[in-house]
Amino acid sequence: MADRKSSSSGAVSSRLTVKRKDRAENEVKKEENPPKEGENAENTPVENGENTEKPEPMELPPFEIISGDRMDPFFFKFQFKNVEYSSGRNKTFLCYLVDQGPGASGLLRGFIEDEHVSGHAEEAFFQQVLPNYDPALKYTVTWYMSSSPCSACAMKLAEILKARKSLHLSIYSARLFEWEEPEIQAGLKALAAAGCKLRMMKPLDFTYTWDTFVENDEQTFMPWEDCQENYEYYQDKLADILQ
Ligand SMILES: [Zn+2]
């Protein structure tokens, strides 16, 4: 937990968390082991003995959401890697930029991370970052996500976009989440039909995300070897879905 806390200064997270429950995704595929820090985060003992809840999945709070200004570079390199199989990556990282136009108080920038098994980052964004909507403002919202939305989130986002006509959302994803599933495809189509711009992250987007949302210590980001190839792979899949 220390790693995660220090990785996101000013982090807001639920302190009610008890030991994490079963990790369906983790247990299904193990071709690629998650990094040590990721594992540490999962096995952290309850802090300070403050929390006496039993580690029952049903008692978990609905959200385990962490948000902050810039993320740990280690998490970025693991979570955003656009590999075809996302084993061990059972979180979603959502980096956001919000421009509310002239008259509004500047640009909002930050990141949110979640666990697929609890609340999702997309929903948390509209609860924590942009809970209110003023139809007089023009919102330009850009997300750089480690993986594309699940079907439930896509449907919720489509509803939000229909209700908030002056909010324009662009989602750039490193990977497509379970893109072979018909309901996922339906969700992405609904999202696109609601006006959301969807595309995969290009190597330049990874560099931009590194520069903008990561504690980069002014290091230059070097995209991994197959970054462009993987982008093209996913972009083809996405184009097939949205055609
Ligand atoms: Zn979701």
Band of residue 64 on the pLDDT scale cut at 50, 70, 90: low
Q: Give the model's pLDDT for residue 32.
A: 44
CA 177 to ligand 1 center in whole angstroms: 10
pLDDT tens profile 156-196: 999 999 999 999 999 999 999 999 999 999 999 999 999 99
CA 90 to ligand 1 center in whole angstroms: 11
Reply yes or no on whether the pLDDT at 10 is more than 90: no
* 55 or 236, which is more confident: 236
Collapsed DSSP state (helix, strand, coil) of residue 7 = helix
Global pTM reads 0.73
Q: Which domains does the chain have, with CATH numbers?
A: 13-61 (no CATH), 65-242 (3.40.140.10)
Band of residue 217 on the pLDDT scale cut at 50, 70, 90: very high
Q: Give the model's pLDDT for residue 8.
A: 38
Reply yes or no on whether the pLDDT at 135 is more than 80: yes
CA 239 to ligand 1 center in whole angstroms: 21
CA gap 39, 33 in Å, rounded: 9
Residue 159: closest CA among 117, 119, 187: 187
- Which residues have a catalytic role annotated? 122
CA 105 to ligand 1 center in whole angstroms: 29
Estimate the share of the chain in helix, then strand, then coil, as percent rounded to the nearest 5. Answer: 40, 15, 45
- Angle at which helix 227-242 crosses helix 203-213, to 10 degrees, equals 110
Reply yes or no on whether the pLDDT at 44 is more than 80: no
As a whole number, the mean pLDDT across the chain is 79
Sheet holding 93-99, edge to edge: 66-68, 107-113, 93-99, 139-147, 167-175, 197-200
